[in-house]
Structure 1
Amino acid sequence: MSRFIEVVEVGPRDGLQNEKVALTPAQRVEFIHRLEAAGARRIETVSFVNPARVPQMAGAEEVCAALPAEPKRSRIGLVLNMRGWDRAVSTGCDEANVVVCATDAFGIRNQGADTRAQMDTLAAIAGRRATEGGPRLSVTFSVAFGCPFEGEVDPARVVDLVREAAGLPLDEIALADTIGVADPWAVRRLVESCRAVMGEQKLRLHFHDTRNTGLANAFAGVEAGVDVLDASCGGLGGCPFAPNATGNIGTEDLVYMLERAGFSTGYDLPALIATTGWICGLLGKTPTAAVTRAGLFPLPA
């Protein structure tokens, strides 16, 4: 197989936002540089949120200033509101990813607004970008497969949100299993339903491994035709506003699975493993990514 799967590295943002140890902007910049040296070309680098609520993401402007634009690299900033969009524009961020919660309960606890208000904000940001310019724009629908407060999420609700978003000038639409409750069959069904109502935008998938189904869900997404997947170095991550949140699928685990099957990702697995060791050393924790713990195969000569 020569099919290329784009693995978006989310460690510097989603991977760090729930850690007890808050790294300095300089340490986060070094993390990003190490990931890029390991092959990452598209990275979630910062979150333009209130640092009082998420202190681990303080200093977004400082991180962006240390990452001047480079060809074939894209640094993504998370945006929740118009203030976040303005900050993304002012830093010259390559991409802005707006998060919309698929349920009202999660939206109110996570962002202080229900789903309708968040969709209105997304439309307003897309309108501003269309008239004033700005970075590439995407939306991620969080808790698309299940909510810690409302339980099961009706797939039809997610499809309706995707249909509405597809009518906006966006570059990409993502579905996130924020609390790790999806199964491969649900992933395939929702991907197929969403692609049926989308336009030319790419579809991206974001999985957490809370219940040990993350890689299986990624496999189902690839089988359903998705070419863009999120992952986090070492399996770091978790939402600060989701009870019992655990990490994303590990980048090295996803890359190992894909490349073992013959797909192309552009990553250097030994460099990824070394980066996981470095970042987990700073955080004082053991990586959850299985490939880092078990090692490569075939074994080096």
Structure 2
Amino acid sequence: MSFDDAYEALTDHDDDARWAYGTGFSDPMAGVPTEVPSDVDRGDLVTYCLMLGDDALIMSHRLQQWVTRAPELEDELAIANIALDLLGQARLLFTRAGEVEGAGRGEDALAYLRDPGEFRHVALAEWEDADFAQLVARLLIFSTWKLALFDRLAGSQDPVLAAIAAKGVKEVTYHREYAAQWVVRLGDGTELSHDRMQAGLEAVWPLTAGLFEPHEIESRLAAVGVAVDPREPKAEFEAVVDQVLAAATLQHPVLGGGAPGGRDGVHGKELVAILEEMQGLARGLPGSTW
């Protein structure tokens, strides 16, 4: 396609390849039925969408904080792209939550105008990584868990959740592959990199416990074929992680007590700092658009 000037080229939104998620793409949910299954409690579905959306949003924000801090430029680009994928998933899930809720709250209100106690993400998502080894260990855990979850959620009786999960499977497959390659590279590298990778893995591993504890809302929705029982992906998760750790010559950490409670809005002080940074503009200029 030819343009008269550079500005015209930059402002043409039909060329999807040049634009970040949501600025020039066709609606990925176009044509997907939006009716809520008749045997599903709408409040439960809203909360479940928020759980999954908050997982993606908070993890995305943590990854964005690593741009300019990664070991190499190509890793900064990879981490930024993974963060954008997760942000896109959060947008779709928040949109579904708002539609089902029917209270007029859209994706922006759900992301920027909720207080810490209203967020439902797992503790793993908000962890602040001390170094790159912790980052890739946490990303490996998160993406391995999320891929196993989305693979099952793609069969959800809620057509929108099924479509979001099917789209997410393709994205999270890459996230898992990227993280696994770095874990192996560091673990099976020098003595220093091995020790740092082992320490990073052991630091974040206790947070794994909270991934597989069923919440009552998840259990109710799983009973009607809408959600996934969190215990179902555990065997697949363990098999994949074991394979990666063996290739990386790393010792499997002992599962600790973890930090459950995130699904009920119980979070650490780290979330307050995250939301102050993420929500500052929207709360400082209420009603503005940009």
* TM-score w.r.t. length of structure 1: 0.29
| More helix per residue | 2
| More strand per residue | 1
Looking at CA atoms only, which structure, 1 or 2, has the larger radius of gyration? Answer: 2
